Structure 1
Amino acid sequence: MASEASFGRFTEGTLSSHDQVARTLGVEILGGLYKPGEKLPVEADMLARFGVSRTVLREAFKTLTAKGLIVSKTRVGTVVLDSAHWNFFDAAVLGWKVSQGFDIAFVRDLADVRRAIEAAAAAAAAKRCSPEDIAELRRCLARMDAATASASDFALADLDFHKTVGRASGNVLMRSLAAVVETALLASFRMSSPVREAEEHAASVAGHRRIIDAIEAGDADEAATAMRDIIGHGLSRIERGATSS
Structure 2
Amino acid sequence: MGLLETTIAGRKRGSSHAHVVAELGNAIVSGAIPEGSILPGDAELSQRFSVSRTVLREAMKTLAAKRLIEAKAKVGTRVLPRSSWNFFDPDVLGWRCDAGVDLVFIEYLAEMRMALEPAAAAAAAERATSDDIVALYAIAARFDDPSHSPETIAKVDLEFHLAIARMSGNPFMRSASALIEAALAIAFRLSSPAASPEMIEEVATNHLRIVHAIASRDADKAVAAMRHVIDVGRGRIQKSLSPAPVALVPAGG
Aligned CA-pair RMSD: 1.9
Between the two proteins, the alignment pairs up a number of residues equal to 231
Task: For 1:212 and 1:118, locate their aligned partners in 2 and report how far apart those are by CA, in whole Å.
Answer: 13
Match of 2:67 in 1: 68
Q: Do the aligned partners of 2:122 and 2:223 also contact (CA within 8 Å) in 1?
A: yes
Moved more, 128-137 or 49-58: 128-137
Match of 2:186 in 1: 188
Task: For 2:92 and 2:104, locate their aligned partners in 1 and report how far apart those are by CA, in whole Å.
Answer: 17
Counting aligned pairs with the same residue, the percent is 45
Match of 1:233 in 2: 232
Q: Which runs of 5+ in 2 are unaligned?
A: 1-12, 245-253
Aligned-partner residue type, residue 184 of structure 2: L
2:26 is paired with a residue whose SS is helix
Counterpart check, 1:102 vs 2:101: yes
TM-score (norm 2): 0.84
Q: Deviations over 1:176-221 (max 9, x none)?
A: 222x445414303413321113332222211111111111111101
TM-score (norm 1): 0.87
Match of 2:22 in 1: 23
Alignment of 1:146-225 (within 5 A): 146-178=145-177, 180-181=178-179, 183-190=181-188, 191-225=190-224
Aligned-partner residue type, residue 162 of structure 1: H
Match of 1:138 in 2: 137
Task: For 1:176 and 1:90, locate their aligned partners in 2 and report how far apart those are by CA, in whole Å.
Answer: 10
Aligned-partner residue type, residue 48 of structure 1: Q
Counterpart check, 1:50 vs 2:49: yes
1:128 offset after TM fit, Å?
Answer: 1.1
Aligned-partner residue type, residue 141 of structure 1: A
Q: Which runs of 5+ in 1 are unaligned?
A: 1-9
Taking a change above 3 Å as real, the CA distance of residues 93 and 121 of structure 1, as seen in their structure-2 partners, is same
Q: Do the aligned partners of 1:98 and 1:183 also contact (CA within 8 Å) in 2?
A: no
Larger relative CO (CA 8 A, sep 6+): 1 or 2?
2
Moved more, 37-46 or 20-29: 37-46
Q: Do the aligned partners of 1:17 and 1:56 also contact (CA within 8 Å) in 2?
A: yes
